[in-house]
Amino acid sequence: EDFEKVEKLACEGLSTLTGELAGTYYPLKGMDKAVQNKMIEDHFLFRADDSVLGDAGGYNCWDTGRGIFHNKDKTFLTWLNEEDHFRFISMQMGGNLGQVF
């Protein structure tokens, strides 16, 4: 239930992003297999395969309220309810740290 509340609030907030940060949210629950495979190929998808996190209860209610948001350029990502409620990731090719921030 808490995962779903966080997911709902996050989706509401992420849907307000504009410009280069605007993007799409992909919930894990019910994710299309083709989308899932593409996320794995892009190294964006987190999976329930860490034994330490599993032993700590990190995969209870797996896939409920969990997902990934990314912008169209795939330079700004947000993981929801993986190990953290929110994990913000900024990525750029090359060594320009200013672009990451």
* Buried-state track 45-81, b at ≥16 Cβ within 10 A, e below 16: bbeeeeeeeeeeeebeeeeebbbbbbbeeebbbbbbb
**Which residue positions in the chain have pLDDT lower than 50?**
none
- Give me the pLDDT at residue 100, please: 58
- Give me the pLDDT at residue 96, please: 66
- Give me the pLDDT at residue 49, please: 77
Half-sphere exposure of 37 (CA within 13 A, CB side): 3
- Give me the pLDDT at residue 5, please: 93
CB atoms within 10 A of CB 26: 19
Q: Are 46 and 82 spatial neighbours (Cβ–Cβ below 8 Å)?
A: yes
- Give me the pLDDT at residue 61, please: 77
